[in-house]
């Protein structure tokens, strides 16, 4: 596996692959990789000739009061996992490699989409996401890029950016990967102590109950969200950021649950903010 630390190295290697007629898949990550990331690499491996994984904690998507410095990092572990899953190149740039000292150019969606859900409390987050992903697309120029459904709003935002900016890249959304007890895999799970880890299960319990209600024929989002709220509110260590139903493409609020509607939660367990969701499907 190639470890590339500069944009020049990435472009030189991809140039060679292109000359061999190989397709390229990109998996953007912020490192501290787990089985959820591995599932993205596996999907990319199955669909593309070569697989590139970026491993970069992007500072532009963190507000000053957020956990940029504390965000977990373990590059040696990341490399071991990536090699096991057939990654061809990991792009591991410094902040200085990705952003010039006087960088002042950003990519931003200027409608209500990034202001919903996570954007209500993280107002600069999706500007940072769009900027760094746009840069990665320009550096790697992949045929396909792979993102996890756990970050459903991010996935929708990236799809919108790709459409609006006419990127010739297929965006592939991949299913949420969960622990054996249901908790969605997340790098931030490592912040949780034993008591908080147990308490965090209220997220998946609420999501599974919401899915059950949808399958039973309930289409009133208010009723579904109320039951999910009740489950999470019963946990003393949980503080709700949001529990919302939104159109899966626009991320605008949805009063009725129909195919493609996203039901998403963000909850603080102690000081750790976790997210989970499901997308309604198979409805008549």
Q: Which helix (H) or strand (E) holds 262?
A: strand 261-269
**37, 77, 85, 125: the active-site residue:** 37
Dihedral sign, CA of 124, 127, 131, 133?
positive
Q: What CA dihedral angle connects 193, 195, 196 and 201, to 10 degrees? A: 130
CB neighbours of residue 67 within 10 Å: 14
Annotated active-site residue 125? The verdict is: no
The pairing of beta strand 238-247 with beta strand 261-269? antiparallel
Q: Which helix (H) or strand (E) holds 146?
A: strand 144-148
Write phi, then psi, for 73 (nearest 5 degrees). Answer: -140, 140
Nearest 5°: the CA angle 128, 130, 131 is: 65
Which residue numbers are catalytic? 37
């Amino acid at each position: 596996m190639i470890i590339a630390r500069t944009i020049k190295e990435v472009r030189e290697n991809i140039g060679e692959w292109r000359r061999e007629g190989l397709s390229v898949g990109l998996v953007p990550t912020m490192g501290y990789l787990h089985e959820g990331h591995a599932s993205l690499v596996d999907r990319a491996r199955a669909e593309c000739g070569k697989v590139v994984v970026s491993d970069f904690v992007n500072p532009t998507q963190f507000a000053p009061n957020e956990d940029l410095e504390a965000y977990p990092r373990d590059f040696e572990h990341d490399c071991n996992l990536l090699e096991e899953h057939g990654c061809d190149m990991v792009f591991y740039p410094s902040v200085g490699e990705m952003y010039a000292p006087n960088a002042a150019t950003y990519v931003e969606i200027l409608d209500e989409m990034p202001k919903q859900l996570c954007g209500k409390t993280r107002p600069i987050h999706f500007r940072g996401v769009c900027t760094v992903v746009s840069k990665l697309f320009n550096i790697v120029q992949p045929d396909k890029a792979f993102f996890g459904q756990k970050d459903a709003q991010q996935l929708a935002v990236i799809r919108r950016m790709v459409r609006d900016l006419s990127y010739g890249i297929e965006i592939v959304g991949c299913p949420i990967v969960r622990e054996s007890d249901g908790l969605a895999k997340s790098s931030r799970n490592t912040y949780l102590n034993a008591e908080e880890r147990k308490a965090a299960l209220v997220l998946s319990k609420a999501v599974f109950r919401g899915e059950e209600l949808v399958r039973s024929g309930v289409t009133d989002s208010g009723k579904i969200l109320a039951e999910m709220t009740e489950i999470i509110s019963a946990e003393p260590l949980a503080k709700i950021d949001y529990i919302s139903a939104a159109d899966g493409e626009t991320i605008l609020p949805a009063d009725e649950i129909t195919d493609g509607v996203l039901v998403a939660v963000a909850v603080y367990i102690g000081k750790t903010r976790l997210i989970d969701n499901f997308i309604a499907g198979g409805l008549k």
